[in-house]
Structure 1
Amino acid sequence: MNWARRGLLELWAMVMLAAVVGFLGPFGTYLEADFPSRVWNWFAHLMGAYVLVRPTIWFLAVLSDATAIPRGALICWGVLLASFPLALVWEWGASLFFQALGGFAGILPFAILSAVAILAVVVAAKRIDGELDHRKQAPVQPTVSEDRDVSPTPEIGSPPPVPATEEGEEARPRLLARLGPAFEGPILALQSEDHYVRVHGVRGSELLLMRLRDAIPEMADCPGYQVHRGWWVAESAVAGTETNGRNRTIVLINGEKVPVARDSVAALERAGFLPTAR
């Protein structure tokens, strides 16, 4: 993911949003100034919303990864809650611009709409950034014969099937064909990020536009386990484990830490993937 490009995409989307709202001139602002002035005023206020809502989205995404709370629901509710302090700031510092809205009660619905618009800008910019990365990589799609058996998606705690290979031939997961030449293998782990999969290597990682449940079967040549709803880990990538109460964490050979779902611990211990806690 290119964060500089991501920021430019979001900034460009904010300019376009301010231009559209400035052209429409809602809430009595159409007659207050000419078009360039309206666009500038709306851009300033929308960027004020962006400064509050954008860090909120980032924080909630990190919180979702740390607690396994569904990201979509957490971010949506968090963005709605962030609109309340946004409305208070606008009432205190921009009462003249929103004088037609009638105070906090009138500003709040507009603050909610603005917060939702910021969320839409962030989601759209992320998808466009992912599409640009996907096109830049231009991976070669592996050919699959029509009569080939397709293995079902493994459940949490169960390893994917490992097909037999010719003697002396090194197993090579099909997912490697999707990765760019800069990726430093082997593949250590797969992490779900919305509609993407982050492929972790020895040094660094790479995003692929696909679902985790579709990526796991392409790692069939590499023994591993799905240890969490959003994580798959290769057996050879485990450097150690950490225990904190009922929580278990896998430490990869590159230093990355992977959470283990509590309801999967027993199955992983029986399979020998995790040491039995004492």
Structure 2
Amino acid sequence: MSAQMPVLKEPGRKRVGSSKLLFILLLLFIAILAVLFFNSSISKISEIQIEGNRFSTQEEIEQAAAIVIGDAFFGTTSGMLEDRVSALAPVEKVTVTKVFPGVIKILVQEYPVVAFELSDEGEMTALLSNGTTVDASNDQLMLIDKPVLTGWAANDPLKGELTKQLAQISAKQLSDLSEIIPIPSNAYPDRILIYTRTRFEVITAISVLKEKIDALNAVIETQEPGKITMLLADTYVPFDPEGSENMDSGQKETTQ
């Protein structure tokens, strides 16, 4: 006697089609939201705040950053903006902060001023620690604590070396230096003449200025005004009360 086989039920089919449709609708909804967001004012740069700049104008910084109000807020990263602004010669460091919605904050740190230069036409420029020359017509009050360079050729490479040396000397040590003039000689092509605010006359060289500055300040603090020579050997001669020593010093400069 043969047994009758039971009828097997077919497994129910999953609703694959409805799940795919739901996923597609979700993607479409997200895409519509993205389009609406990136075309709205909330996704645009609404304000650019720049602080710390002194020799770089706001227009120069904005041009270097290559952004304007109305650009896409997420179009560039903070790092990209920092790299662009750092390319400006006076800028030593820059920090960019993006504050949603729409605010870009650019904090600039420029190279410090180590000296000023007076041209033959009477124009005042500032020399930064990296050798950059910038306009300083509105900063003449700073002359009280920075030396002024006179008599230097515009393309003199030693001027750049001098600014690097001055950058390594503290502001306090530089505060008494009034004027720096090039007086090259065969033995010392980088020889300079320094006048101090305390009425000393100093002959030294750019290459030894940093190592001689402490000894120079020690003499200035303990001696009467006079002529100081700091080259291979250091000498100090007080000025004659009648000024004869000061006149003779000009005749002796060419011997060192």
TM bucket normalised to smaller: under 0.3
Name whichever structure is richer in helix by fraction. 1
Is the radius of gyration larger for structure 1 or structure 2? Answer: 2
TM-score (norm 1): 0.23
Q: TM-score, normalised by structure 2?
A: 0.25
